[in-house]
A and B are shown apart, each in its own frame.
Chain A
């Protein structure tokens, strides 16, 4: 499963990198006379409501999706790791404060707070990334805090402390590495989550704004043409499902490979 996932993700990355060379059309070029044309030999995924090549736009959309995923996961995991390790390592008041913030942010279901934040900040790609990162760090912080609480008591950590290593060094060199396997799994699944969230927000009109080709925006554009041009809906959706499934397969596979319990249970 993880191989299928890795292959899927690799295909998406390659498509995003060499997309413009693969597509024979410019994703922004309009051919109004042939708008809503179905898939053909020249336009594999057909044309959209203003006659743009959907294949070229799906490839261009892969860049946006992967970019959002990478930026959100990088910011969230860095902030989450920092705050989670501080909370777990120092305990006391600072742990209380960080844990309460985590509790409050977790009290909002999934996308709701992101929708709320984008609603007030205004719809744009940058605001989607900001909103997803503002919420995204929580999962990583909780995970790392738990791991650090455990690692703090390990003998090699106490030995490092006894040898006079400073707190930042202990955290970076000894404690955080113990959380890396779990973090890797979380980040892989987080990529899928961030891509899905960006697409959902763009679909609702709260994310990437037209004419920028994002898969969610393309799906939103297809809504009014379900009856006469279903290909506007089918191909961008297929791309989202393909990439998210890839990250989920990869995350699941990594979890099984890195977690000794599930590996034993097979």
Chain B
């Protein structure tokens, strides 16, 4: 187990380094002079030169890269061009809102998907299965930037049950969580159906039924428990999609999280803040994938790296 852990951790380091390098290079992909682009065409040459010096853009590329990596390791991601607030502080202020939204979306997704997937597998080939499959495909195909406004039209504007935007009470969380969790629910329901169908074909389920276990007991106590492993993995791997989806959902519902901060920073050409948000989301994603892999290895002893 220790060797598996060490190897998996070692594999993550070059990926993290690659991620950081890519985020570093973003600023250099800006066509023309990055400092000029940030300040706009009307900025004076003196202001542009000052910004270049402040961001270290006047130093050799290798030195800039070294400073960026060193800063990132120490949590120093520079300062926002607009507010002069440290990037790390700005991000940390918004982090709880994004975590709250992502967690709520995942809870909504699991609560909806697991029963739907089980029903589709148990009543395979029937109207229940076809309906569940269609609902799942709809969930994958309906973009959250459409579902969100639709939910707002129905539940906020027509019915007046829920607030249309902002953060504060649990009522503010309902529509963003459903809008963000729908696609994940659809993917999870399909996965639950597929893995449960596989398990239901196994001999131990037949054996349980032969011993007199009811159909419901065979499904829930035996097959479902085993089919959970890939489903849990998928939840972990889909965390990245939830984080990216949060960028859109937060924009729709004016949810004060990292996603909205990212889009606002792009609008203001506040590139240090853009880099910080991208780096944080990507590193969180890599971390979640690592955690999922490790948990998978822990739960299923057959999985080991040679």
Contacting pair B142 A248 (CB below 8 A): no
Chain B contact surface mostly:
helix
Q: Which residues of B have CB within 8 Å of A203? A: 143, 145, 248
Q: Which residues from 231 to 256 on chain A have a C-beta closer than 8 Å to any C-beta of chain B?
A: 233-234, 236-237, 240-241, 244-245, 248-249, 252
Interface string of B152-164 (1 = CB under 8 A from A): 1100010000001
- From 73 to 120 in chain B, residues with beta carbon under 8 angstroms from any chain A beta carbon are none
User: In the complex, A233→B240 CA distance in Å?
Assistant: 27
A66 to chain B, nearest CB (A): 16
Within 8 A of A (CB), among B114-151: 137-138, 140-143, 145-146, 149-150
Cβ of A204 and Cβ of B274 under 8 Å apart?
no
Report yes or no: B143 in contact with A199, Cβ–Cβ below 8 A: yes
Using an 8 Å CB-CB cutoff, how does the interface string of B200-213 with A read, 1 for contact, 0 for none?
A: 00000000000000
A200 with B26, Cβ < 8 A, contacts A111-B247, A112-B244 known: no
Q: Are B146 and A110 in contact, CB atoms less than 8 angstroms apart?
A: no
- Contact-residue size bin, chain B (C-beta under 8 Å from the other chain): 35 or more
A contact residues, total (Cβ < 8 Å): 45
**Are A120 and B15 in contact, CB atoms less than 8 angstroms apart?**
no
* Shortest Cβ gap from A238 to chain B (Å): 8
Whether, in the assembled complex, A3 has its beta carbon less than 8 Å from a beta carbon of chain B, the answer is no
A21 at the interface (CB under 8 A from B): no
Q: 0/1 per residue, A192-205, Cβ < 8 Å to B?
A: 10001001100111
* Cross-interface CB contact of A192 among B141, B285, B289, cutoff 8 Å: B141
Closest beta carbon of chain B to A96's beta carbon, Å? 11
- The digit string for B258-279, where 1 denotes a CB below 8 A from any CB of A, is 0000110011000100100010
A interface footprint on B1-37 (CB within 8 Å = 1, 0 otherwise): 0000000000000111011001100110111000000
Residues of A contacting B: mostly = helix
Nearest Cβ distance between residue B52 and chain A, in whole angstroms? Answer: 16
Give bound CA distance, A248 to B243, whole Å. Answer: 23
Closest residue of chain B to A243 (Cβ to Cβ) is B141
A100 within 8 A of B: yes
B239 — which chain A residues lie within 8 A by C-beta?
109
A216 within 8 A of B: yes
B-chain residues with CB within 8 Å of residue A121 when the two chains form the complex: 29-31
Q: Which residues of A contact B241 (CB under 8 A)?
A: 109-110
A196 to B274, alpha carbons, bound, how many Å? 23
CB within 8 Å for A233 and B146 given contacts A111-B247, A120-B271, A223-B252: yes
> Most chain-B Cβ atoms within 10 A of its Cβ — which of A100, A108, A117, A245?
A108
Determine the chain B residues whose CB is within 8 A of the CB of A233 once the complex forms: 146, 149-150, 153
- Residue contact B267 to A205, C-beta cutoff 8 Å: yes
- Nearest-CB residue, chain A, relative to B247: A115
A71 on interface, CB distance cutoff 8 Å = no
Bound Cα distance A205, B268 (Å): 13
Q: Are A199 and B267 in contact (CB under 8 A)?
A: no
Q: Measured between C-beta atoms, what is the minimum distance from B58 to chain A in Å?
A: 19
Q: Which residues between 247 and 306 of chain B lie within 8 Å of chain A, taking CB atoms?
A: 247-248, 251-252, 262-263, 266-267, 271, 274, 278, 281-282, 285-286, 289
In the A-B complex, list the 3 residue pairs whose CB atoms are closest, starting with the nearest: A109-B240, A237-B146, A104-B18
